[in-house]
Amino acid sequence: MSDLEFSQLTEEEQKLLQLERDEWLESLDYVIKNGGPGRVKQLLRALQNRAAQFGIHLPYAANTPYVNTIPRHEQPRFPGNHEVEWRIRCLVRWNAMAMIVRANRESDGIGGHISTFGSAATLYEIGFNHFFKGKHDESGGDLIYFQGHAAPGIYARAFLEGRIT
C-alpha cells in the first residue's frame, strides 16, 4: 500500500494496519531471538512462495542497502597497520596527482582521471596489501586488469615502489 492510499484510510483503519504490522514485526523479533537467522530465512522464503501462489511477486532487488552481515564480534582483526597503510595511500594519491599534472603539462588529456583513482584508492590499496597475489604465490598469482582511466594511481604506486622510473 502506498503512502497516498494509506492516507486515504480512516484513522481507525490506519491504526488497524499499524497494529497488524507491529504484530508481524513482534513475531519476527521472536523468531530472530528464538530461532535464529536460518529460521527467519525459512519463514521469509515460505511467505514469498505463498505470495507467489496468489500471483504476488516481490520485485527483484539486485542492489540492496549496505548492511554489514558479519557481527562486529565475529569480524577478524585487520591484518595490517591502519596508520601505515593510510599514510601509503596518501602518498600514492599525492604522487598520482603529481604525475597527472606533469603529464598534462606535456599534452592535455593524457594524464588520466585522478578522481576515478581517488575514489577507488582504498579498494586498490586493500587489494594490493592483502588480497592480490604475485606469480610466485602457490596459486600461481592473480591476473588483474586495471581500468585505463584509473591507471595513474597504479603507476604512482609502481613508481613509489621503484618498479618504474
- Cell of residue 7, nine digits: 492516507
Q: What is the pTM of this model?
A: 0.51
Q: How high is the mean pLDDT in each 10-residue block of the chain (165 residues)?
A: 78 92 96 96 94 90 76 88 92 87 78 76 88 82 74 82 84
Give Cβ neighbours of residue 57 (< 8 Å, ≥ 6 apart). 51
- Cell of residue 78, nine digits: 585487520
Q: How many structural domains does the chain have? A: 2
| 104 and 134, same domain (yes or no) | yes
| 110 and 61, same domain (yes or no) | no
Rounded to whole angstroms, the Cα distance separating 28 from 34 reads: 10
- Cell of residue 39, nine digits: 529460521
Residue 16's pLDDT is what?
Answer: 92
SS3 99: helix
DSSP letter assigned to residue 9: S
| 94 and 144, same domain (yes or no) | yes
Domain region containing 101: 82-160
Query: Quick check: is 65 in a domain?
Result: yes
